[in-house]
């Protein structure tokens, strides 16, 4: 029968005689190691946060910018979002950019080792609103007039002026868009549109002709004017206004009112 060799008494004694580090020595050593690690992490973090060691050296803008200025935006970012490349908060920069009136949307990203890329979609003003604000193509108003310098005024020089009650900017823009689409075939453009408190429409064309359209069926009434437009242009007198607030007819006011103050084709008021 095979027998297993048992460790000798000498071997067992040697294993039992291996000394173990007392707790009073091991614990302080462990604490020192943890403290050293924490200290080096702190130093590394300070180094990464140090703007002088790892600054944002270049801010690259993209997007078609007609009003916004690259240098002004760069100065704004460097002033408001201070810190190193690693410490710079892209969410804060994103919020900072979209707070600017002429910024419709922005996207921000970093690129190692020192570049910040900012893509901006600039607001496009399609109309002026109540002489105070501008309207973009979505019908949203923004306070962009105060941001325009003298050399940028031409950006909004030819946009139409819309007026209306507070909160009606989308309605006014929709009405303007529909009416201008109808007028395009005749080569006429709207210079000013007024939506009254009672939501009655009045339009002034670039030719200074005023169209009184009333509250109802303004598209049909405008079409009535367009149908008559070639005849009006054949007249020797200049048209001052056309009142279309009738079921089937209209009234024309002439600039030379001393000769023919008004010609009515129908008196059925709507």
Provide mean pLDDT across the span 51-59: 70
37 inside domain = no
Last-in-domain residue among 66, 91, 122: 122
- Reported as a single tens digit per residue, the pLDDT across 135-153 is 999 999 999 998 888 888 8
- The answer to the question of residue 15 being in a domain is no
Among candidate residues 105, 122, 139, the one where a domain is terminated: 122
Shared-domain flag, residues 217 and 105: no
Domain of 204, in residue numbers = 125-264
User: In this structure, are 137 and 101 located in the same domain?
Assistant: no
Tokens of 103: 């910024």
193/70 same-domain check: no
Task: Render pLDDT for 226-250 as a digit per residue (tens, 0 to 9).
Answer: 999 999 999 989 999 999 999 888 9
Q: Are residues 152 and 214 in the same domain?
A: yes
My answer on whether 142 and 109 are in the same domain is no
Are residues 190 and 222 both part of a single domain? yes
Give me the number of domains the chain comprises: 2
Is 38 within a domain? no
Residues 104 and 180 in one domain: no
What pLDDT was estimated at residue 266? 43
CATH number at residue 84: 3.10.20.310
Domain co-membership, 140 together with 253: yes
Give me the pLDDT at residue 263, please: 45
Mean pLDDT for the stretch of residues 199-203: 97
pTM (predicted TM-score): 0.73
Considering the domain architecture, whether residues 95 and 117 belong to the same structural domain is answered as yes
Say if 40 falls within a structural domain.
Answer: no
Q: Check whether residue 68 and residue 140 sit in a common domain.
A: no
Q: Which residue has the higher pLDDT, 133 or 34?
A: 133
Q: Which of 94, 122, 150 is the last residue of a domain?
A: 122
pLDDT class for 18, splitting at 50, 70, 90?
low
């Amino acid at each position: 029968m095979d027998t297993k060799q048992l460790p000798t008494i000498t071997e067992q004694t040697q294993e039992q005689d291996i000394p173990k580090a007392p707790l009073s020595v091991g614990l302080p050593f462990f604490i020192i190691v943890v403290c050293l690690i924490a200290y080096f992490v702190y130093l590394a973090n300070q180094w990464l946060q140090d703007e002088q060691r790892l600054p944002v050296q270049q801010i690259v803008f993209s997007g078609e910018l007609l009003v916004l200025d690259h240098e002004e935006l760069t100065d704004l970012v460097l002033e408001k979002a201070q810190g190193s490349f690693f410490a710079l908060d892209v969410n804060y920069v994103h919020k900072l950019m979209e707070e600017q009136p002429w910024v419709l949307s922005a996207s921000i990203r970093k690129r190692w080792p020192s570049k910040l890329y900012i893509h901006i979609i600039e607001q496009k003003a399609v109309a002026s609103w109540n002489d105070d604000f501008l309207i973009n193509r979505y019908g949203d108003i923004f306070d962009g007039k105060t941001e325009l310098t003298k050399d940028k005024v031409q950006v909004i020089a030819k946009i139409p002026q819309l007026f209306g009650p507070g909160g009606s900017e989308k309605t006014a823009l929709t009405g303007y868009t529909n009416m201008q689409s109808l007028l395009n075939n005749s080569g006429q453009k709207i210079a000013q549109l007024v939506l009254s408190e009672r939501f009655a429409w009045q339009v002034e064309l670039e030719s200074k002709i005023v169209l009184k359209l009333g509250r109802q069926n303004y598209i049909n009434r405008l079409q009535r004017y367009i149908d008559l437009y070639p005849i009006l242009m054949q007249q020797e007198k200049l048209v001052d206004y056309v009142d279309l607030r009738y079921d089937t007819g209209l009234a024309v006011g002439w600039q030379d009112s001393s000769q023919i103050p008004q010609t009515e084709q129908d008196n059925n008021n709507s």
